[in-house]
């Protein structure tokens, strides 16, 4: 926090040329003033710990209500934890399999320079798109208006963390901005961003968020065109990470990159295993942080989770957003169950390409509703539409009269 004023000043000096006058001329002064105010607020917080009596936990009943009535997922806290325990065991088991297969291969390291990483990224973008569409894979349909996907390094300025500032516009090219090579996220992130772009390329780019986002934004229904559901989206993108391993995608860095996919699975499982106990009040944020560090060590091609990344997992994904701890895995579980039942229904007529296209054609709606539309099966949706007011959960209904107002 001692550097916060200098960070604000540096941000303003770097970006002011992109602002019009007279605002540009006043930006540095305003940024420095904002930094001083934020530093004063931090000093006040440290000086008055007795005033900080808020609760970070929301309780088991509220989490269950949130999953059921906001995300329309038919799961409760205990089921989410069971999914995570199984995912953790599966991730570590398949990581062990991969490490055994790769035991005679040299270890891979992150790119030394941004240029080296971007070269790998360009190769991955082309190889991944061809792989999904050609060579007999037939995994998904291309779309005429899908842009070329490329990454580009951009300006990352503290105190804005992972928020990037693009420096130019390229017509028709969708860019995912990457951190500079000297950023801790490039050298130390356990997700392997700089080690092999393919590990998360299918999740973020094509056929992940960029691809599905374009499809959903042109849906003929005006409601579905704008509706977003993180379980549907994150489940789809997480699922596409595993496809690369299951169907032998040729990672540009070689077979060792496959280990990173399973390490990502482990980290997401641990996100639930610390996230749910944190949200329901069984552990503190500090305990969650330490558990992450202990349970996601350096293994295989993974660097092990750093304190910075563990802090982001606990405070950004769980404390701040809540659903970020469970939506990817729970959505993937729903998607896999949907695929399995479609396979049983169609038997030898089942085609992955048809399933994937149909999954995306209904819009980004909760998978419990998608299951109802695709299979005429309301088993996941049944009961989720029962009206249960959040106040009744928060207060156990003891002080809430029938008219809904609190006493």
pLDDT value at 395 more than 70 = no
Contact 374, 362 (CB under 8 A): yes
Tokens of 248: 């032998």
Give the position of tokens 């860019």: 175
180-185 own/partner pairs: CB under 8 Å, 24+ apart: 180/114, 180/153, 180/156, 181/111, 181/112, 181/113, 181/114, 181/117, 183/156, 184/306, 184/308, 185/309
pLDDT for residue 84: 97
> How high does pLDDT run on average in the chain?
88
Does 154 or 124 have the greater pLDDT score? 124
Across 370-396, average pLDDT? 87
Closest CA to 83 of 268, 297, 231, 237: 268
Closest CA to 279 of 38, 61, 7: 61
Does 394 or 397 have the greater pLDDT score? 394
Give the position of tokens 């390329």: 201
pLDDT for residue 401: 38
Tokens of 82: 């069971």
Give the position of tokens 């007279």: 22
pTM given for the model:
0.87
Phi, psi of 176 (to 5 degrees): -100, 120
pLDDT 10s digits, 29-64:
999 999 999 999 989 988 998 887 777 788 999 999
Q: Which of 185-189, 205-209, 246-250, 392-396 has the highest mean pLDDT?
A: 246-250
- Tell me if the bond preceding 183 is cis, omega within 30° of 0: no
Q: Is 138 helix (H, G, I), strand (E, B) or coil?
A: coil
What residues pair up with 176 in beta bridges, in sequence order? Answer: 151
Q: Is 156 helix (H, G, I), strand (E, B) or coil?
A: strand
pLDDT for residue 399: 37
Across 311-337, average pLDDT? 88
Q: What does each C-alpha distance from 161 to 155, 164, 205, 217, 308 come to in angstroms?
A: 11, 8, 22, 29, 11
- Tell me if the bond preceding 392 is cis, omega within 30° of 0: no
Across 111-133, average pLDDT? 90
pLDDT for residue 159: 67
Distance in angstroms (rounded) separating the CA atoms of residues 191 and 193: 6
Q: Identify the DSSP state of 151.
A: E
pLDDT value at 396 more than 80 = no
pLDDT for residue 402: 40
Across 257-274, average pLDDT? 95
Across 108-112, average pLDDT? 91
Where does residue 376 fall: left (phi above 0), alpha (psi -120 to 50 degrees), or beta otherwise?
Answer: left
pLDDT for residue 152: 83
Distance in angstroms (rounded) separating the CA atoms of residues 268 and 238: 10
Distance in angstroms (rounded) separating the CA atoms of residues 360 and 148: 20
Distance in angstroms (rounded) separating the CA atoms of residues 165 and 178: 11
Tokens of 36: 């001083």
Distance in angstroms (rounded) separating the CA atoms of residues 348 and 1: 61
Question: How many residues in total does the chain contain?
Answer: 407
Closest CA to 11 of 33, 29, 34, 28: 28
pLDDT for residue 406: 35
CA pseudo-torsion sign 244, 261, 358, 216: negative
Percent of the chain with pLDDT over 70: 93
* Residue spans of alpha helices (H) in 228-351: 230-246, 257-280, 285-295, 307-311, 327-346
Would you kindly state where each structural domain of the chain is located, as residue ranges?
4-51, 60-327
Distance in angstroms (rounded) separating the CA atoms of residues 125 and 208: 12
pLDDT value at 86 more than 60 = yes
Contact 257, 106 (CB under 8 A): no
Q: Is 164 helix (H, G, I), strand (E, B) or coil?
A: strand
pLDDT 10s digits, 163-187:
676 667 777 777 777 887 777 778 8
């Amino acid at each position: 926090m001692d550097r916060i004023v200098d960070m604000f000043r540096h941000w303003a000096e770097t970006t002011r040329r992109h602002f019009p006058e007279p605002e540009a001329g006043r930006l540095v002064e305003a940024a420095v003033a904002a930094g001083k105010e934020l530093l004063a607020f931090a000093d006040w917080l440290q000086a008055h710990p007795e005033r900080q009596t808020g609760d970070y936990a929301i309780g088991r009943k509220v989490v269950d209500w949130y999953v059921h009535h906001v995300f329309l997922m038919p799961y409760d806290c205990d089921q989410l934890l069971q999914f995570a325990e199984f995912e953790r065991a599966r991730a570590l088991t398949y990581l062990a399999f991969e490490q055994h297969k790769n035991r005679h291969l040299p270890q891979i390291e992150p790119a030394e320079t941004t240029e080296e990483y971007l070269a790998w990224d360009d190769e991955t973008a082309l190889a991944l798109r061809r792989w999904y569409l050609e060579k007999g894979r037939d995994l998904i349909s291309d779309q005429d208006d899908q842009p070329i996907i490329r990454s580009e390094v951009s300006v990352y300025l503290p105190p804005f963390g992972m928020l990037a500032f693009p420096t130019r516009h390229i017509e028709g090219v969708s860019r995912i901005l990457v951190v500079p090579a000297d950023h801790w996220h490039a050298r130390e992130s356990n997700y392997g961003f700089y080690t092999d772009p393919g590990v998360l390329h299918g999740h973020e780019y094509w056929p992940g968020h960029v691809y599905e986002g374009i499809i959903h934004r042109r849906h003929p229904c005006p409601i579905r065109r704008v509706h977003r559901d993180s379980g549907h989206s994150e489940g789809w993108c997480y699922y596409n990470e595993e496809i690369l391993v299951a169907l032998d995608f040729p990672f540009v860095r070689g077979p060792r990159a496959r280990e990173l996919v399973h390490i990502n699975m482990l980290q997401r499982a641990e996100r639930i295993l610390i996230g749910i106990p944190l949200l329901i009040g069984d552990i503190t944020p500090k305990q969650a942080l330490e558990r992450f560090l202990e349970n996601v060590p350096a293994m295989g091609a993974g660097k092990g989770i750093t304190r910075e990344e563990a802090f982001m997992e606990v405070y950004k994904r769980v404390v701040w957003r809540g659903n970020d701890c469970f939506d990817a895995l729970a959505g993937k579980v729903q998607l896999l169950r949907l695929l399995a039942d479609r396979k049983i229904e169609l038997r030898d007529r089942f085609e992955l390409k048809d399933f994937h296209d149909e999954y995306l054609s209904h819009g980004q709606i909760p998978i419990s509703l998608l299951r109802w539309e695709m299979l005429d099966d309301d088993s996941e949706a049944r009961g989720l539409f029962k009206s249960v007011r959040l106040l009744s959960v928060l207060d156990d209904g003891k002080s809430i009269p029938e008219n809904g107002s609190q006493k």
